[in-house]
Structure 1
Amino acid sequence: MKQLYIKQKVLSLSGKFTVKNQQEQDVYYVEGSFMQIPKTFSITNTARDEVALITKKTFSLLPKFFVEVNGQEVLTIEKEFSFFKTRYRIDAAGIEVLGNWWDMDFQVLQHGEVVGQVSKEWFTWGDSYQVQILDEKMETIVIAVVVAIDCVKADQAAASSAAST
């Protein structure tokens, strides 16, 4: 089992942050595009090779995000039409997210087997997540899922604040 930590900076316009291991060494770098269409988040390893890419679909009635790992589309996160409560659907071949992913407390399963667990750390400056990797072959996918869900949440928060002004 591997323990990783994601700590986002509060006032980062470009959306740059790192994923660290238990020894507080950088394992992955995440960088969001700034003022670019389509909005993307690139995840690179320590050699700066891109291992995952999250892209927001540009022209869509409802928000939709695509997650690619090692050049292959792994899952999509799409907002569903609803009148009262915001709902999103995650579509993936063999990958499932169970739990309260809106509050960042969930498990990532592949074919019914838990491969990762995510929990939000409370009372921290900025968003911080603890990620347990149970199947190290799925590490990149689990990190990409966490970043993608966080991206969806940030997009939703931005849309909500824009609508209220």
Structure 2
Amino acid sequence: MKLYIKEKRFSLRDQLLVQDEQKEVLYTVKSERIAIGNKVHIYNQSKEKVLSIEEKKIGFSPKYMIYQQDEKVGAVKKETNLIASDYVIEKIDWKIKGNVEKEDYEIKKGFSKIASFKKKRFSYGDSYVLDIEEKKDAQMVLAIIIAVWCLQLDEKNDG
């Protein structure tokens, strides 16, 4: 299953559209304007909230919790070591492999690929391709991608 993420042009800054291969909008991602910490929500075609991503400050580094109907189903944080930075996915047994900063990476469980994420070249505006192996993982993968973007934005704003 391929999903295409396109930053919506000429609208509120923090809104993304997620489309399938037929250009049908499957999900809309919106940030909460008035919130303590960053809060982002993913809505399905019926405009129902399916997942929320919320920032939690722990020490000096933020962590983004992923909630489904008020139940924590995962979390993403960035850990820096002497060699490089790693993005850690908690609560589910998935790992991020590849170059997150260049927006070219995979989400894996063991040696099995769950999804790949790449910036789409030669497109108008920022567009991304999310290739998911199994449709049942689409919402969680999308939430992880959004959490990684939030962590990168935090780092950019702090630096």
Give me the TM-score of the superposition, normalised by structure 1. Answer: 0.81
SS in 2 for 1:108: strand
Question: What does 1:1-165 correspond to in 2, within 5 Å?
Answer: 2-9=1-8, 14-58=13-57, 60-69=59-68, 71-80=70-79, 87-92=85-90, 93-160=92-159
Evaluate the alpha carbon distance shift between residue 9 and residue 43 of structure 1 in structure 2; reply closer, same or farther with a 3 A threshold: same
Evaluate the alpha carbon distance shift between residue 10 and residue 46 of structure 1 in structure 2; reply closer, same or farther with a 3 A threshold: closer
Evaluate the alpha carbon distance shift between residue 81 and residue 146 of structure 1 in structure 2; reply closer, same or farther with a 3 A threshold: closer
Range 101-110 or range 52-61, more displaced? 52-61
SS in 1 for 2:107: strand
Report the Cα offset of residue 126 of structure 1: 3.6
Cα deviation 1:97-142 (Å, max 9, x = unaligned): 1111222211112343212111111344443210111111111111
Report the Cα offset of residue 17 of structure 1: 1.5
Evaluate the alpha carbon distance shift between residue 41 and residue 86 of structure 1 in structure 2; reply closer, same or farther with a 3 A threshold: farther
Decide whether the 8 Å contact of 2:76 with 2:144 is kept in 1.
no
Unaligned runs of 5+ in 1: 161-165
SS in 2 for 1:122: coil
SS in 2 for 1:151: helix
Report the Cα offset of residue 65 of structure 1: 1.4
Unaligned runs of 5+ in 2: none
Report the Cα distance in structure 1 between the residues aligned to 2:18 and 2:30, rounded to whole angstroms.
Answer: 11
Report the Cα offset of residue 26 of structure 1: 0.5
Q: Moved runs in structure 1, 4+ residues, more than 4 A?
A: 10-14
How many residues in Structure 1 have an aligned counterpart in Structure 2?
158
SS in 2 for 1:146: helix
Report the Cα distance in structure 2 between the residues aligned to 1:137 and 1:109, rounded to whole angstroms.
Answer: 15
Structural RMSD (CA): 2.5
Evaluate the alpha carbon distance shift between residue 59 and residue 80 of structure 1 in structure 2; reply closer, same or farther with a 3 A threshold: closer
Report the Cα offset of residue 11 of structure 1: 7.1
Report the Cα distance in structure 2 between the residues aligned to 1:125 and 1:60, rounded to whole angstroms.
Answer: 39
Decide whether the 8 Å contact of 1:56 with 1:63 is kept in 2.
yes
Report the Cα distance in structure 1 between the residues aligned to 2:142 and 2:93, rounded to whole angstroms.
Answer: 16
Decide whether the 8 Å contact of 1:9 with 1:127 is kept in 2.
no
In percent, how many aligned pairs have the same letter? Answer: 24
Higher helix share: 1
